[in-house]
Structure formats: C-alpha cells, structure tokens
C-alpha cells in the first residue's frame, strides 16, 4: 500500500500548491500510455499550461515508485493526456482537477498498480474535486472492490 499512500500524497501536494500559488500544477503519473515498472510521479507549476515540464517551470515534488511495482493505465478511465504520450492529472488554481482523457473537470482518471503476485489496486482521481480513491481487484468475483482485502501471496 506504500505506492497508494505515495500517490495520495503527491495528489494532495499538487492540489494544495495549485490553490496556494494560484497557478496550474501538472501531476505526471505515467510516462506513456503503457505499463511501466516503477517510475516517478512528478508535479510542477505548469506556467504555460501545456502539460510539458519546461526548464523554467518550478518543481512541486517528485515521488519515486518502487521498481517492483508495475503501473499501467486503466483502459476504461484513462488519465488526462499531458505532453506527448504522458498521462496524469492537471490541478487548476481553483483546486478542481482535470483527471480524465476527455480533458474536462467531469469524469475520473485512474492508474492500476500491480505487484509480483498480481495483486492490483486501482488509484483513481475524481475530476472536479480531485478526490483520490483506491479499489482492489477481487480475483474471485472479477470486480473492483473498495475493500482492500483480496491479497494473493
């Protein structure tokens, strides 16, 4: 669950900075639209609102994801497109979030995190409020559940 807490912290810090600084903050979660081992969740003040990290834009924070974990896009709830094929969440100065591929403050964007035993947790961000939710895949019933108790070893 460490990666879930890391993501929750990153989203909270990004949102707070967008509000405090009255500027857009971009939170990059995935480097491209495919599964990746580990990675870096990165937030910055996106001065020109283009979703790309420019040299003159200040970092808000960087959070390392353990390389033993695989992060992948959720096909049904794609995060917002950033620069190129990067995916993430855009926090507006109002505190609202653009979290999905539709590019509006309506909807949900998500990433799925998986470990070596194929335990899967979906971390989603609600557009608008920026609320972070987590759900675990129930292999027995083939559904996502808010109960984080379906561990495989």
pLDDT exceeds cutoff 80 at 53:
yes
DSSP three-state, residue 7: helix
Predicted TM-score (pTM) of the model is: 0.92
Using one digit for the tens of pLDDT, what is the confidence trace for 115-131? 999 999 999 999 999 99
CA distances from 97 to 5, 70, 85, 88, 150 (A): 19, 24, 19, 10, 30
């Amino acid at each position: 669950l460490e990666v879930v807490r890391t993501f929750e912290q990153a989203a909270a810090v990004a949102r707070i900075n967008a509000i405090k600084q009255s500027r857009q903050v971009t939170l990059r979660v995935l480097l491209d639209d495919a599964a990746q081992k580990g990675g870096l969740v990165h937030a910055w003040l996106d001065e020109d609102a283009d979703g790309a990290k420019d040299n003159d834009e200040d970092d808000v924070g960087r959070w390392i994801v353990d390389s033993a974990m695989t992060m992948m896009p959720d096909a049904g709830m794609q995060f917002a497109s950033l620069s190129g094929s990067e995916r993430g969440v855009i926090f507006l100065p109002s505190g609202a979030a653009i979290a999905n591929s539709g590019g509006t403050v309506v909807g949900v964007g998500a990433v799925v995190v998986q470990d070596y035993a194929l335990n899967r947790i979906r971390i989603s961000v609600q557009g608008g409020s920026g609320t972070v939710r987590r759900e675990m895949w129930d292999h027995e019933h083939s559904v996502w559940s808010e109960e984080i108790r379906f561990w495989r070893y």
